[in-house]
């Protein structure tokens, strides 16, 4: 069984996990719209890192329509969506800093993972 890589800081985890997740060979297919995101973080520990009690999950998902999304999720005891948003900002700061008016979809699943999802690439061109 694989174990989740542990890091001392969120910044170290960010460098390691984003380098892995943003590599196109590691992109995954997106979930069907009728499937809850709760099944995602537990499936593959390669897409997860740990900083103390905080677990982090990051992946690029390609939908059947060829739309590309970035999903970052956090889980920790007592974690709130507001605190998770602070973690998201710190996690993305070096590689993909948050910009004003950037839109993220936020979901909390039954396993208490807080998911942040946004479009990673521009919409595909239509002929």
Rounded to a whole number of angstroms, the CA Rg of the chain reads 14
Does 38 score more than 50 pLDDT? no
* Number of domains making up the chain: 1
Whole-prediction pTM: 0.86
Is 30 within the bounds of a domain? yes
For residue 102, name the pLDDT band (cuts at 50, 70, 90): confident
Is 17 within the bounds of a domain? yes
Contact partners, residue 102, CB within 8 Å, separation at least 6: 118
Question: What average pLDDT does range 103-121 have in this prediction?
Answer: 91
Instruction: For residue 41, give its domain range.
Output: 5-119
What span, in angstroms and rounded, lies between the C-alpha atoms of 14 and 61? 18
Is 50 within the bounds of a domain? yes
Does 76 score more than 50 pLDDT? yes
Which residue would you say has higher pLDDT here, 43 or 45? 45
- Residue 123 burial (CB count, 10 A): 10
Q: Which residues partner with 28 through β-bridges?
A: 61
Pick from 101, 113, 32: nearest CA to 72: 113
Is 125 within the bounds of a domain? no
Is 126 within the bounds of a domain? no
> Are the C-beta atoms of residues 90 and 10 closer than 8 Å to each other?
yes
Tokens, residue 120: 């990673």
Does 51 score more than 50 pLDDT? yes
Tokens, residue 110: 């039954």
CB neighbour class for 103 (10 Å; exposed up to 12, middle 13-18, buried from 19): exposed
Does 2 score more than 90 pLDDT? no
Is 59 within the bounds of a domain? yes
Which residue would you say has higher pLDDT here, 65 or 23? 23
> Are the C-beta atoms of residues 38 and 24 closer than 8 Å to each other?
no
Is 47 within the bounds of a domain? yes
């Amino acid at each position: 069984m694989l174990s989740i890589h542990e890091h001392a800081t969120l910044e170290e985890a960010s460098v390691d996990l984003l380098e892995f997740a943003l590599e196109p060979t590691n992109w995954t297919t997106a979930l069907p719209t009728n499937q809850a995101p709760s099944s995602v973080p537990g499936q593959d520990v390669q897409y997860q890192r740990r900083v103390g009690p905080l677990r982090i999950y990051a992946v690029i998902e390609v939908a059947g329509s060829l739309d590309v999304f970035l999903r970052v999720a956090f889980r920790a005891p007592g974690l709130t969506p507001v605190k998770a948003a602070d973690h998201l900002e710190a996690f993305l700061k070096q590689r993909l800093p948050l910009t004003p008016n950037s839109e993220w979809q936020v979901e909390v699943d039954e396993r208490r993972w807080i998911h942040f999802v946004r479009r990673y690439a521009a919409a595909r061109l239509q002929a």
